């Protein structure tokens, strides 16, 4: 069971946010350092559970990668830590489920985006290095092995993050997304579970965006009534934009909306939309305005400018949002009073926000 740290209400394991106040639920378990653990619902069928890649540990994949151990799993993949036989470099290898491997549309998009993988190389992106397929049909993706703390776990652990920290993490995430957007790649599944907070050798921290090209295209639109009626949830919808929920064509502005939701949650520990059920929370994004930041946590006395920036980024109409992630991040940093100079960020509101 999961529970809300604010009101104590308990929920089934698959629930992720309190429907009463939008607070992220906790389980009391935090994964160790390493490549991210997906928290997508475990909907694997028996065929998937019996596939050979559940037993890859200790084996050599295609004569090139020694599989050390499994370090994560989700509804559509297993993730392994591996050593390159020739270079001894460490990599994260994500092995796709049989269901995803058989999805022609998903695989076509994955192959296209894998071909751009090297061009997507950026300090704030865990990019695809190689897409491989074994003779028996096992599809896998090779990526850099990234060590750190999942952003969702950090927010759970601390309750919320300081404004200056949110501004710098937001800038990192925006920088990584911008590179992808310039290559016509939209993440589509941006959420705190897909961001890793890492540490440089000098002790400074930076964010890395994970799982580019691995999320299936999400379609809700006409299915939203079915979702409401049946209670079925496709994937993890809490950070989807309104146009994504409607099944509309997506562009970089959908990632901007998701990033704004993440920033809001980092600052408050809550989401700006409430409802009695997860479906009601989704519908609220289609019909309602977000709860203003300073009304959600009035005791924190956030600058009014920060609230204005988030409201713009959370506009239901994509045309009313910031049009690039860098534009959003720069506006947020200015509103937060964080200036960037010489590669480091300095908080002008540090005393107010405990920095």
Segments making up each domain of the chain, as ranges: 46-144, 149-347
pLDDT band at 99 (very low <50, low <70, confident <90, very high): confident
Question: So what's the pLDDT on residue 219?
Answer: 39
Distance CA 3, CA 10 (A): 4
Task: Report whether pLDDT(225) > 50.
Answer: no
Residue 348 confidence (pLDDT) above 70: no
Q: For residues 355 and 350, give the distance between their C-alpha atoms in angstroms, rounded to a whole number.
A: 4
Q: Are 217 and 103 in contact (CB under 8 A)?
A: no
Report the C-alpha gap between 78 and 117 in whole angstroms. Answer: 20
- The 10s digit of each residue's pLDDT in 305-340 is 999 999 999 999 999 999 999 999 999 999 999 876
Strands across the sheet containing 195-199 = 149-150, 195-199, 205-209
> If 0-12 CB within 10 Å is exposed, 13-18 middle and 19+ buried, where does residue 136 land?
exposed
Specify the higher pLDDT residue, 34 or 204: 204
pLDDT value at residue 14: 62
Level-2 CATH architecture, domain 46-144: 2-Layer Sandwich (3.30)
Report residue 278's pLDDT band, with 50, 70 and 90 as the boundaries: confident
What is the average pLDDT score of the chain?
A: 80
- How much is the pLDDT for 213? 55
The pLDDT score that the predictor gives to residue 326 is 98
Greater pLDDT, 214 or 278:
278
What is the band of 98 on the pLDDT scale with cuts at 50, 70, 90?
Answer: confident
Describe the crossing of helices 325-336 and 252-268 by its angle, rounded to 10 degrees.
30
- Encode pLDDT of 117-173 as tens digits: 778 889 999 988 999 998 888 899 999 999 999 999 999 999 999 999 999 999 999
Catalytic residue among 153, 189, 211, 255: 189
State CA 194 to chain mean position distance: 3
How many residues does the structure list for the chain? 355
Identical fold, 46-144 and 149-347: no
Over residues 232-272, the pLDDT tens digits come to 333 357 899 999 999 899 999 999 999 999 999 999 999 99
Whether residue 97 is predicted with pLDDT greater than 70 in this model: the reply is yes
Question: Among 24-33, 65-74, 330-339, 345-354, which stretch is predicted with the lowest mean pLDDT?
Answer: 345-354
Domain 149-347, CATH 3.40.50.720 — does that match? no
Structure confidence at residue 93 (pLDDT): 93
Between 65 and 137, the higher pLDDT residue: 65
Which of 152, 257, 158, 249 minimizes the C-alpha distance to 207? 152
Active site includes 103?
Answer: no
């Amino acid at each position: 069971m999961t529970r809300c740290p604010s009101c104590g209400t308990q929920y089934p394991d698959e629930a992720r946010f309190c429907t009463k106040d939008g607070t992220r639920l906790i389980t009391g378990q935090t994964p160790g350092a390493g490549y991210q653990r997906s928290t997508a619902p475990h909907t694997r069928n028996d065929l998937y559970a019996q596939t050979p890649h559940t037993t890859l540990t200790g084996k050599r994949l295609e004569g090139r990668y020694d599989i050390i151990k499994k370090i994560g799993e989700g509804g559509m993949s297993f993730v392994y830590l591996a050593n390159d036989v020739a270079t001894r470099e460490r990599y994260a290898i994500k092995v796709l489920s049989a269901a995803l491997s058989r999805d022609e549309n998903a695989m076509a998009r994955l192959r296209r985006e894998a071909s751009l993988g090297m061009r997507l190389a950026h300090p704030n992106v865990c990019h695809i290095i190689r897409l491989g397929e074994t003779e028996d049909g096992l599809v896998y993706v090779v990526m850099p092995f990234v060590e750190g703390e999942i952003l969702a776990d950090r927010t759970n652990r601390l309750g919320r993050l300081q404004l200056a920290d949110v501004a710098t993490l937001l800038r990192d995430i925006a920088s990584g997304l911008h590179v992808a957007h310039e290559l016509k790649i939209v993440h589509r599944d941006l959420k705190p579970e897909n961001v890793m907070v890492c540490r440089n050798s000098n002790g400074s921290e930076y964010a890395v965006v994970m799982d580019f090209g691995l999320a299936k295209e999400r379609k809700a639109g006409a299915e939203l009534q079915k979702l409401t009626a049946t209670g079925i949830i496709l994937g993890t919808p809490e950070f989807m934009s309104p146009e994504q929920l409607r099944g509309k064509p997506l562009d970089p502005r959908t990632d901007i909306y998701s990033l704004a939701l993440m920033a809001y949650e980092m600052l408050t520990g809550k989401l700006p939309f409430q409802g009695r059920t997860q479906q009601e929370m989704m519908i609220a994004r289609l019909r309602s305005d977000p709860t203003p930041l300073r009304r959600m946590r009035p005791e924190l006395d956030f600058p009014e400018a920060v609230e204005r920036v988030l409201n713009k980024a959370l506009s239901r109409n994509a045309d009313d949002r910031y049009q690039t992630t860098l534009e959003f991040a720069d506006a947020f940093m200015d509103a937060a009073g964080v200036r960037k100079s010489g590669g480091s960020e300095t908080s002008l509101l540090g005393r107010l926000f405990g920095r």
